[in-house]
Amino acid sequence: MMWHATHQTEEGLMCHPSEFEAWKHFDQMYPDFAEEPHNVRLGLCTNDFASHGQYGHTYSCWPVIIIPYNLSPGMCMSSKYIFLTMVIPGPSNSKRLIDVYLEPLIEELLQLWHVGVRTYDHTIDRAFMMQAALIWTVNDLPVYGMASGWSTAGVMGCLVCMDDARAFHLQYYRKACYF
């Protein structure tokens, strides 16, 4: 779990998320977290999956997946280390309640961020307080809006840009366009 802290990188070559600017910026913002190489950085992925069931009825579900990014590139995306944390059930459109379903997971992630959990590392023969941070979410824009509780429609559709977003409505289609 400490591969991200010990690997050597070739200048100008990116092969792991720890080499991204966002990871480095996170380390600068939270130096206490970055100092402990055992601390875990996580990604959360979700999107709805709808299949057509019997008699034309559709059924949808939302798998919610957690990925630890501390591992080497070969292990990071291996199915052994991709954790299905929950499945938000259908049969109808449950996307309006996604934030309710995610609440227990968010509470646990907050506890791991603020308090941590006492863990033992056999390789160095010591216990330590391991913390975890959710550093990325991987999803499409509508899911991003549903999970965060913000609207991703209209002229303020970008949750990062907010007031700085440059957008306008198309005259005939009443859709927001961004540039």
Per-residue tens of pLDDT for the chain, all 179 residues: 666 666 667 777 667 677 778 888 999 999 999 998 889 999 888 877 666 655 666 677 788 899 998 888 788 888 898 999 988 877 665 666 777 888 899 999 999 999 999 999 888 898 989 999 998 887 666 666 666 666 666 656 666 666 676 777 777 777 777 66
Q: In whole angstroms, what separates CA 104 from the centre of its chain?
A: 15
3-state secondary structure at position 88: strand
Q: Cis check for the bond before 91: say yes or no (omega within 30 of 0).
A: yes
Report yes or no: 72 and 3 within 8 Å, Cβ to Cβ.
yes
d(CA 27, CA 145): 26
- Name the residue among 62, 103, 117 with its Cα closest to residue 84: 62
Q: Which two tokens stand for residue 97?
A: 């309640």
Q: In whole angstroms, what separates CA 69 from the centre of its chain?
A: 11
Extents of the domains making up the chain: 3-139, 149-179
